[in-house]
Amino acid sequence: MSNPLSPHDHLRLARPRRWWRWLLVIALMLAGLAWMTYQHRLTLLINTADRLLQPVGMQVTVLDGIQLSATALQIRQLAIQHSDSGAMQRFANITISFNPATLLSGRVSAITIASVNIQIPDRWAPDRDLSAATSPEPAPYAPLQMADLMAALPFNRLQIDYLDIAASIMTAGDVRAEGLAGSLNAVQVTCQPDWCQFAADLNLTLDRLHYDNAARPIELALMAFSTDAPITASIEATTNTLAVASSSSTLTLPVIRVDDTLTGLVASLQRLRVSQPLPAQGTDPANQYGQAELTVREIATSLVDADLSPMQLNQHLTWEQGAIHATGTLMHRTRRLLHNDLRHDLALGAGQGTLAMPAVAFNDSTGKLSDLWSPLPWQFDVLDGTASAEARLNWQLGDDNAVIAGPVHVNLDDLSGYVNDIAFLRLSADFAVELLPDWQVRSTRAAPVSLVSLDTGIELGNIRSNVRIDSTARSVTLTDASLDLFGGTVSSERLDYHLQDNDSRFTIEIDSIDLSQVLGMSAYRGVSASGLVSGQLPVRLQGLAPSISGGSLSALPPGGTIRYDSGSAAAGSQHLDLVYQALEDYRFNLMEARVNYQDSGELDLAIRMEGISPELNGGQRINLNLNISDDIPALLQSLQAARSVTDTLESRLDNSQ
């Protein structure tokens, strides 16, 4: 049997029920406090985002999949739109890590984003003049201090695994871009109070970039830029300096159209380093520094009718103290064709430097000139010998033109080759000229020029002269010119060629030309002669067409002989039959000839001879007057056609070894 409860016992049982109520109230109060803390943190994060987006005029349009913990905020999807342009940025899988103790200061530890997609709307054209001030008075210069920028950044580290940007059409003033597509991989931004660093792999393509300049429109098509290693940019707050570096990057420009010309190339940059101080009083070019290794290859252009694809330009570029310095070479595959060392001061618009072509050899092993430059502009080639050149130049750039001047030295050593059907053997020359403004040249001394042989169909040997060039006076002067021809010599003390009126006059001396060699050419079958002739030929040169009026030749004592085989056919004239009989064995002691040569190529010889013919009338004395005409260009063509110029040249090269 149970004992009845006393009133005191009823009070003791009721008290526990009141404590549970108080615990429920306390729990609700703690939950409310937690909810207020959550809202406070979320408000702080939103305020931080607002502070980050406000300067660039952005607004959030999509915010989805938010998870907040004590040390991180995760967002599955975020979309932000630029209020003015409509440009859209989409972010996926964002993680914002923060320290609760520092979150109140508006800074987070890290931001990690899996992917970012930026779509620029079609025909977006920023029409605001960014260079104009908002007030009538120009705004005072506000120097950019890196410490202030770093303090304004709301994070210590930003990581984006993949970022891509795309735009169909963009216009800005006269510039129009079409088909932009770009991507950045492994983007890393790390910031501390005194420094900040950016790193990423970059790939960019552009279908078309057009600069619609009425004077000279420029169009680039199918452009591509990529980095083979991450490009980095760092900022030092203590020195207020920006530095950019890239170990390797490539720019492909297959189509560059300027006016009616078309050019394409591939450019590579290695070991790029740029340093840009940002002083309180603005940027001073004298404090900028940069260097890079530039390679330009796969060159093609409509400016020249030649295959430039084997050419490669290698340059070491340095930017320092307001001047750019370029040293490097132009290569044809593995052969060095040109070396340059150039320096230009941008502030002065002036520079100086050297261009040097080392001794380029032509032979069976290294190849001929057409192997370096093909096709050549005319039927011309060099098969043997060496050539070198050097120019030490100074220049001054103006608004409309450039003034370039300096000494130029060109050396040709034993060059052998051909021009059309004319072969030349062992050409040597040593030119020293001064390059003058307006691309004029003037010899600083007489240049010795020599040529072992020149085969025009008729061989000219041992050609020598001293040459002076003066393009300001439009003249070329040859002094002490001489050559060997048919066993004798042809010479002139001075030949002045005037380019301005294309009309020059000079006298050629003929000494001891051997008639047997003249008539020994295949063009004069059936006739032979002996004897030596000398004389003078007054030459007039109009353009490149020579003419002779009133030239004179005479046989040297004791005279010579002529033998002509007319065959069995009679001439049909008693007078001509008598002449043919006399010329079958004619021995002259006097021969004089008047020489006239038309600029059309017609040679007229009026010959007077005195002598005997032993087989005619017992050797009585006979005087002959002969008029002979010949088409010299046709004669040379027939002689040239009878041989291959390349075979002739190669044979003579072999014989001269």
pLDDT tens figures, 439-460: 999 999 999 999 999 988 888 9
Q: Indicate if the pLDDT at residue 23 is higher than 50.
A: no
Residues with Cβ < 8 Å from 281, sequence gap 6 or more?
141, 143
**Nearest to 230, CA basis, from 274, 188, 200, 197:** 200
H or E, element range at 590: strand 586-597
pLDDT score at 63 = 80
Dist. CA 649–CA 409, nearest whole Å: 28
Q: Show the tokens assigned to 611.
A: 């002598």
Q: Which long-range contacts (CB under 8 A, 24 or more apart) does 70-77 make?
A: 70/100, 71/97, 71/98, 71/99, 71/100, 72/96, 72/97, 72/98, 73/45, 73/98
Q: From residue 51, give the alpha-carbon distance in Å to each of 40, 46, 225, 233.
A: 16, 8, 34, 24
pLDDT at 147 over 70: no
Cis peptide before 193 (omega within 30 of 0): no
Phi, psi values for residue 468, rounded to 5°: -125, 140
Rg (CA), the chain: 45
Q: Mean per-residue pLDDT for 119-135? A: 52
Question: pLDDT digits over 400-417, tens only?
Answer: 788 999 999 999 999 999
The fraction of the chain above a pLDDT of 90, given in percent, is: 47
Give the Å distances, CA to CA, from 171 to 176, 178, 206, 444. Answer: 4, 9, 13, 54
Distance CA 278, CA 275 (A): 10
pLDDT value of position 636: 80
Long-range contacts of 526-531 (CB under 8 A, 24+ apart): 526/564, 526/565, 526/566, 526/567, 527/562, 527/563, 527/564, 527/565, 528/562, 528/563, 529/560, 529/561, 529/562, 529/563, 530/560, 530/561, 531/555, 531/556, 531/559, 531/560, 531/561, 531/588, 531/591
Residue indicated by tokens 């593995």: 334
* pTM of the predicted structure, to 2 decimals: 0.77
Q: Work out the mean pLDDT of the chain and round it to a whole number.
A: 83
Q: Taking a C-beta distance cutoff of 8 angstroms, is the pair 477, 492 a contact?
A: no
For residue 527, the tally of other CB atoms under 10 A from its CB is 13
CA distance 476 to 478: 7
What average pLDDT does range 197-218 have in this prediction?
A: 87
Q: Which two tokens stand for residue 18?
A: 């009141």
Phi, psi of 375 (to 5 degrees): -80, 155
The more confident residue out of 240 and 262 is 262
* Longest CA pairwise span in the chain (Å): 195
| Most confident range, picked from 28-37, 127-136, 537-546 | 537-546
Rounded distance between C-alpha atoms, residue 615 and residue 114, angstroms: 115
Residue 33, pLDDT > 70, answer no
Residues 6+ apart with CB under 8 A from 241: 146, 235, 275, 276, 277, 278
